């Protein structure tokens, strides 16, 4: 998975109308326990893969919702207006990256996250993978 030009993955919403194809490996793979990711996913955490904008191709129509994150950046969530699945988002503090919800790739072999952020909001029963590269951060 090191050749950016050969490895490609497609994430999609539940109905398949909104698709994101990413080429190469993500530059960051993290699990986020912030309250907004909990609300966005309906789960106790979200997992995201961030890719350089030039390695992402978007197909379909996305509806946008903007919010301001805890650190003051604007986060623009893109989701399918038909089925409601959030597929990808951008952050004003990192305009050259696109974050994609890892679950939308529907690939159980996807790499393990390297960051666990907003640990202070982590549910006490959630177990973070224990490996040497894991960085655990109280905030992002």
Tokens 């893969």: give the residue.
49
Per-residue confidence (pLDDT) for residue 56, from 0 to 100: 98
Within-domain flag for 121: no
The pair of structure tokens assigned to 43 is 């789960």
CB 139 within 8 A of CB 46: no
Split into its structural domains, the chain has a count of 1
Separation between Cα atoms, residue 136 and residue 108, nearest integer Å: 22
pTM for this entry: 0.89
Q: Which among 97, 104, 99, 105 is positioned nearest to 117, based on CA atoms?
A: 99
Query: Where do runs of H (alpha helix) occur along the chain?
Result: 35-41
Within-domain flag for 24: yes
Per-residue confidence (pLDDT) for residue 34, from 0 to 100: 86
Domain that holds residue 56: 8-111
Within-domain flag for 93: yes
Domain with 73 in it: what CATH number? 2.170.150.70
Per-residue confidence (pLDDT) for residue 140, from 0 to 100: 61
Within-domain flag for 66: yes
Within-domain flag for 129: no
Per-residue confidence (pLDDT) for residue 6, from 0 to 100: 61
Which residues, given as ranges, of the chain have pLDDT below 50? Answer: 1-4
Within-domain flag for 125: no
């Amino acid at each position: 998975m090191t050749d950016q030009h050969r490895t490609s993955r497609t994430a999609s919403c539940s109905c398949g109308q909104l698709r994101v194809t990413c080429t190469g490996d993500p530059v960051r793979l993290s699990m986020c326990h912030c309250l907004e990711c909990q609300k966005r996913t309906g789960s106790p955490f979200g997992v995201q893969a961030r890719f350089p904008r030039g390695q992402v191709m978007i197909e379909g129509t996305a509806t946008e919702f903007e919010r301001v994150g805890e650190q003051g950046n604007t986060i623009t969530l893109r989701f399918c207006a038909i089925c409601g699945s959030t597929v990808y988002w951008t952050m004003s503090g990192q305009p050259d990256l696109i974050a994609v919800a890892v679950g939308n790739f529907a690939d159980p072999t996807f790499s393990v996250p390297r960051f666990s952020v907003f640990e202070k909001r982590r549910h006490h029963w959630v177990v973070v993978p224990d490996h040497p590269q894991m960085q655990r951060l109280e905030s992002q």
